[in-house]
Amino acid sequence: MTVPDLPELDVDVPVIEPEALKARIDEGEALTILDNRVPSEHEDWRIDGENVSHVNIPYFEFLDEELDESLFEELPEDEEFVVLCAKGHSSEYVAGLLIQEGYDAVALERGMNGWASIYEYTELETDGDALVAQYQRPSSGCLAYLVVDGDEAAVVDPLRYFADEYVADAKALGAELTYAVDTHIHADHISGVRTLVEDHGVTGVIPEAAEGRGVDYDTPYETIADGETRTVGDTDIEAIHTPGHTTGMTTYAVDNVLFTGDGLFIESVARPDLEDGDEGAPDAAGMLYDSLQERVLSHDDDAIVASAHFSDAAIPADDGSYTATLGELKETMNALSMPKDEFVEFILSDMPPRPANYVDIIETNLGVQESDDDRAFELELGPNNCAASNEALTN
């Protein structure tokens, strides 16, 4: 929605940075958020937290010269609340108007676009010699990983918007980023593999099994087949073909860590309908079952599952990462012990809506269509919806 020119207000509007808001939410502070986007946008994607409450009033409701008193009924009168919109423009106006009315309001800097710019770094506790760090994007639940051993590093499932961060973090750890690796052709965010190749001279790697979807890159890249490895320092990254979410889906094993991509999450399993639609979903769900039973769950119970996404239903581990051991998931996720027919029926029974703009995102990641930085950022705004359920499948 295009926001028209708004009236000028003679008031200073305080703003809160997205990272500061995230910290307050993580600390469990009770907060009220006034969302000035239209109801459909608010319902599709919003900032949630254990003690966060929402009031949704579109900004244009505040443009009348005589404001309806009912607009103020749900607003807290004796505490600060946060006003947000898509990009921060209209929410600053609304916050200023409410300050003039005597309310204690602050505007979220850059709105939901600012929220989508948060990227957090957490190191995992592993049994290997390599350092493994998880990147968390709370706005969409996207996860990426940095593997560092000696003076070499690799990034798994990088996001284009944050490409420079992986290079800088590797350098800060005394390493050069040598590989950028994707687990599959993503449907919810723009991959950073080609950007890292083009801008930083990193070697890009995609699963050999994913090429058949029509990959058409102008930039050079390598493929990795089932059982092959890439090495950073003295650490091997082994490819394990695990089709189901997509035909090219590939898990990577690094010491006792399994980068499962979108095959297995810590609170759910993959949805099987994003490559061949509803028609191909039953066969894909069967492939997913076989991949999980034969190629993932066959690892030791202390193996760490490090997926490409997390949802609001996910509970972080003690180290702050969104990871879990295979043993924990076997004990808590009943879907992993179902017979195949029951598993397929269960997975297909109640899948959430497909990710927003997923066709354009897939085509961009295949190289079939081009998206500049601004369009790429806009395409991936919103929740990821790559899991089979919005609710946790764990007990």
Q: Which amino acids are annotated catalytic?
A: 85
CA 244 to each of CA 5, 136, 280: distance values in angstroms, whole numbers, following the listed order:
48, 24, 10
Cβ atoms of 324 and 126 within 8 Å: the answer is no
Using an 8 Å Cβ cutoff, are 303 and 326 in contact? yes
Count of CB atoms within 10 A of residue 366's CB? Answer: 17
> What is the CB-side half-sphere exposure of residue 172 using CA atoms within 13 A?
7
DSSP bridge pairs for 83: 34, 107
Angle between helices 163-172 and 193-200 (to 10 degrees): 60
Question: Is there a contact between 300 and 254 (Cβ–Cβ < 8 Å)?
Answer: no
Euclidean distance between CA atoms 108 and 84, whole angstroms: 5
Task: Report d(CA 36, CA 14) in Å as an integer.
Answer: 17
The Cβ of residue 77 has, within 10 Å, a number of other Cβ atoms equal to 9
Cα 173 vs. chain centroid, distance in angstroms? Answer: 24
Q: Is the distance from CB of 220 to CB of 226 less than 8 angstroms? A: no
3-state secondary structure 230-273: EEECCEEEEEEECCCCCCCCEEEEECCEEEEECCECCCCEECCC
Contact call for residues 178 and 193 (beta carbons, < 8 A)? no
